[in-house]
Chains A and B, each alone.
Chain A
Amino acid sequence: MNRLSAEDVTLAYDQRVIAEQLSVEIPDNSFTVIVGPNACGKSTLLRALSRMLKPQRGRVLLDGQAIQSMPAKKVARTLGLLPQSSIAPDGITVGDLVGRGRYPHQGLLRQWSTEDERVVRESMTSTGVAELADRYVDELSGGQRQRVWIAMALAQQTPLLLLDEPTTFLDIQHQIDVLDLCAELHEEQGRTLVAVLHDLNHAARYATHLIALRDGSVIAEGAPADIVTAGLVEEVFGLRCQVIDDPETGTPLVVPAARKARTAPGPGSGSGSGGRVRAAS
């Protein structure tokens, strides 16, 4: 049995239901990526998996226990989360911020052990921010800052790590940078990673397990090479495309169809809108 799973959960914000009877298994030791169009419920699912959103029905299981009924600090020692929104306090240094990741391991009398110090150092080294340790977080670039937050999540030393859109707002180089780092954490440190990503090609390249969501339901899940097809992309995203082999990695590469091919037949498709039909609708 896998360590983390959702069983028939109904997820809703007040009255607005995002997903009903959704069941998801996160395979142990996988790099699972959740993809889907905007508002399909992927971030909501991640919030439920990290116990920030309480399911209205069903339950999220962590090591066979309902996550909502477990002690907060115990969960935080097993499952880490890099949320979308985080605030770096004014005037905090990188070292201090990463150090705060040790919170679930600390207590009133055990505030900063040698173990804490060692783990924080390791986390900064493996995310490449060790030399930034003395810098103020507000001075850093977006890419550096994201690495620092990841370092903080690593310092939590959890076997499971959830990341909510870790590449948003980063330029392409830093996106790849962060994803490489995730792959490293997965391959070298054996952590189970679950990430929500927008970019399907990044997902297909880095994930070992892909979950495609639409309207709060799982449309397909499995290894990217097995499930990413033109048909799936059209079903999930409503986009006509070709799927070819990535020349670098051999993983599926989604190439959207040209605009002309996506618009309906009819002369002068560029001029009038009357004859246009969206390929997917």
Chain B
Amino acid sequence: MKALRNQAEHEQVVPARRFRGRTLRTGGGGLSVRVDVRAFTVVALLLVAALTASVVLIGTGDFPIPAADVLRTLLGNGDAGQEFIVNELRLPRVLVGLLVGAALGLGGALFQAISRNPLGSPDVLGLGQGSTAGALVMIVLFSGSATQVTVGALVGGLVTGLAIYALAWKRGVHGYRLVLVGIGVSAIVTAVNGYLITKADLVDAARAIVWMTGSLNGRDWSQVWPLLGLCAVLVPLVLGNARALRMLEMGDDVAYALGVRVERTRLLLMVAAVLLTASATAAAGPVGFVALTAPQLARRLTRSPGPNLVPAMCMGATLLVVADWASQRAFGADQLPVGVVTGVLGGVYLLWLLVTERKAGRI
């Protein structure tokens, strides 16, 4: 009772905002975990939004299925026809969408935190173009299979990521240099891509263009598993280093002083971010704008400093599935690639936010 009263007095002296979030502690103090309530709520709401959008998306198509039936089928109680459509045709597509969105959101948040610059996202750095180059080489020069194109895109993204890191390296990678080198690399690779398209015959060129817009069309379970496996390894790895990344935000010197192994942490997180972005791009093509906007939108919702990794991840997944639903809803299945919609939706939302923030005098 006395302890309670002390606690209450304490609370009066110390307003709630002083230390962000609630702390969960065990009695002995051996375990103490901090939870940012607002960020936690944002993540929960985004998850609900993503799952709702997923269910609606699964029900959308030439053969519409009501949401209740979708849920029943997902739980294993649907009829055979619906089961085939839901589990074999539409669920993998939605799962690929969720995973791609999450990977792009997380990759973007990592890149932006490492470069300490919202422009330092994979879209701007040319990772998407790098993956495209890899895919185009496979499509145009080798008329490769879908698997070969995927592998090509993965390799292209990784090589581009490594090239940017190597070129920007000078006693550690720094924000502006990373962005500038990335823009340069992006320009070069875009030119290469343009050249590859001109060399392609009509069929290959059409295939290349569709791939380049970013589409979830025709994705099946063979795309889900590798992506899921990769996320299962990388997400815990990244989140385990999230606190060190937060220290890095304050500059290399401060992070060093606090005992962060700066170069090691940064290299590890860069590699993880490149892998996430490259594999997402390999699975769905270079879906624009998600990696750039998801972290920014998440940050504005949580109003929390720090890389906001989990919110950015959930925001990416939500954004992509909603965009896929919007593209199917507005133009019919397979008419409009999801990359077009993410560009429009994400871009407009970001502009709107910038305008309102400007009016509020915050930027």
Contact = CB atoms under 8 A, between A and B. Distances in A.
A104 B259 contact: yes
Contact of B32 (A72, A81, A110): A110
- Size category of the B interface is 35 or more
Contact of B251 (A77, A85, A103, A115): A85
A103 B259 contact: yes
Contacts of A104: 258-259
Contacts, number: 112
A258 B275 CA distance: 65
A87 B251 contact: yes
A74 B258 CA distance: 10
B29 A77 contact: no
A87 B250 contact: yes
B15 A114 contact: no
A85 to B, nearest CB: 6
A73 B32 CA distance: 19
A86 B253 contact: yes
B19 A95 contact: yes
Given A89-B250, A112-B23, A112-B34, A95 B18 contact: yes
Given A50-B256, A96-B20, A112 B251 contact: no
B38 interface: no
Interface stretch (B39-47, B144-152, B239-247): B239-247
Interface size class of A (residues with CB under 8 A): 35 or more
A50 B257 contact: yes
A274 B174 CA distance: 48
A27 B179 CA distance: 44
Interface string A54-80: 000000000000000000111111001
Contact of B15 (A91, A96, A134): A134
B240 A93 contact: no
A243 B48 CA distance: 73
B256 A113 contact: no
What DSSP secondary structure best describes chain B's contact surface? Answer: loop
Contact of A101 (B14, B25, B258, B260): B258
Interface string A91-113: 11101110111011010111111
Contact of B258 (A89, A100, A111, A117): A100
Given A104-B258, A104-B259, A111 B34 contact: yes
Interface string A39-62: 000000000001110000000000
A1 to B, nearest CB: 24
Contact of A83 (B17, B240, B254, B259): B254
Contacts of B23: 111-112
A114 to B, nearest CB: 6
B249 interface: yes
Interface string B31-75: 111100000000000000000000000000000000000000000
B329 interface: no
B66 to A, nearest CB: 43
Nearest to B260: A72
Interface of A: 13, 50-52, 72-77, 80-93, 95-97, 99-101, 103-104, 106, 108-117, 120, 133-134, 153, 156
Given A111-B243, A112-B19, 9 more contacts: A72-B259, A88-B250, A89-B306, A97-B250, A100-B246, A111-B23, A112-B23, A120-B19, A156-B258
24 contacts: A72-B260, A81-B256, A81-B257, A82-B257, A83-B251, A84-B253, A85-B253, A86-B254, A87-B116, A87-B249, A93-B17, A96-B305, A97-B250, A100-B250, A109-B30, A109-B32, A110-B31, A111-B34, A111-B243, A112-B19, A112-B23, A112-B32, A114-B32, A156-B258
